[in-house]
Amino acid sequence: MSTLAVKDRTTVRLMFLGAAGVGKTALIQRFLEDRFEPKHKRTVEELHSIEYDIDGAKIRIEIMDTSGSYSFPAMRKLCIRNSDAFALVYSIDDPESFDEVQRLREEILELKPGEKRTPVVVVANKLDMENQRLVLSEDMQPVVELDWNATFVEASAKSSENVLGVFRELLQQVHVPSRISPALRRRRETLPKDGGGAQKKPPMKKHNSCVLS
């Protein structure tokens, strides 16, 4: 259950969902590596993992990045069932991407019916494109917070604005203690490395993997 305290578990999984091109991968990349890749690359499913030591107990935070094309619906459903909190991402210059967020939320609730409140953070991404905004936050925020009982966050992967806030909200909703926050700023220090020889870049992804270890 998503409401278990961190002391009762060893792994927390965060899942990023949204239409293609809204910036899911960019938000994760900015958080993990503090970099931004302007060219959009199609994502399949990638699982990133970070391990933290909290009061002597280790907790692994897994971040599932998903494809906006949803080529593997059965796999997506498995991922949703095995995830603890969800970031539903849309782009402020694309009204249809918010429609997709609404559809995804309904799918999550359908697949996790036994939970009183599924942790969901709706992310309005691409604040750096304010001059091209087509989705007004004053319209969407009340829907998210009042009707859906979810959290609304605006961010920009490109400028890094409030990216850390997205992850803080997700972790707070699954009751990861606030004292992990300073460690978030050192996010790359604990990225696990696969066994074997040295590599130029820490390997952070496992393709098409949705089974919790």
pLDDT in tens, 27-79: 999 999 898 987 766 666 788 998 887 777 788 899 999 887 666 778 888 88
213: Cα within 13 Å, side-chain hemisphere: 8
The answer to whether residue 110 sits within a structural domain is yes
- The residue range of the domain holding 96 is 6-184
The answer to whether residue 170 sits within a structural domain is yes
pLDDT band at residue 199 under the 50/70/90 scheme: very low
70 conformational bin, left if phi > 0, alpha if psi -120 to 50, beta if neither: left
The answer to whether residue 37 sits within a structural domain is yes
Considering its fold, how many domains does the chain have in total? 1
CATH number of the domain that 104 lies in? 3.40.50.300
* Pairwise CA distance, residues 96 & 165, whole Å: 24
The answer to whether residue 1 sits within a structural domain is no
pLDDT in tens, 100-145: 999 999 999 999 987 778 999 999 999 999 999 999 999 999 999 9
Supply the pLDDT for residue 38.
79
Supply the pLDDT for residue 2.
42
22 vs 57: which has the higher pLDDT: 22
Supply the pTM of this predicted model. Answer: 0.81
Percent of the chain with pLDDT over 70: 73
